[in-house]
Amino acid sequence: MGRYTGPKVKKSKRVRAPISDTTKHLKADLDRGPGVHGFSRRRKLTIYGERLREKQKLAFFYHVSHKQMKRYMSEAKRSRANTGDKLNELLERRLDNVVRRAGLARTIWQARQVVVHGHMTVNGKKVDRPSFQVKPGDSIGVRAKSNKSVTAMSESVDAGNIIPPWMQVEGLKIKVERLPQPEEIFRPFETNMLAVVEFLK
pLDDT per position as a tens digit, 44-70:
889 999 999 999 999 999 999 999 999
Q: What is the pLDDT of residue 29?
A: 76
Same domain (yes/no): 98, 174: yes
pLDDT per position as a tens digit, 68-88:
999 999 999 999 999 999 999
pTM comes to: 0.89
Overall domain count for the chain: 2
Higher per-residue confidence, 117 vs 27: 117
99 belongs to a structural domain: yes
74 belongs to a structural domain: yes
Residue numbers of the domain that contains 78: 8-90+188-200
Q: How far is CA 165 from the centre of its chain?
A: 17
**Start-to-end C-alpha separation, the chain:** 23
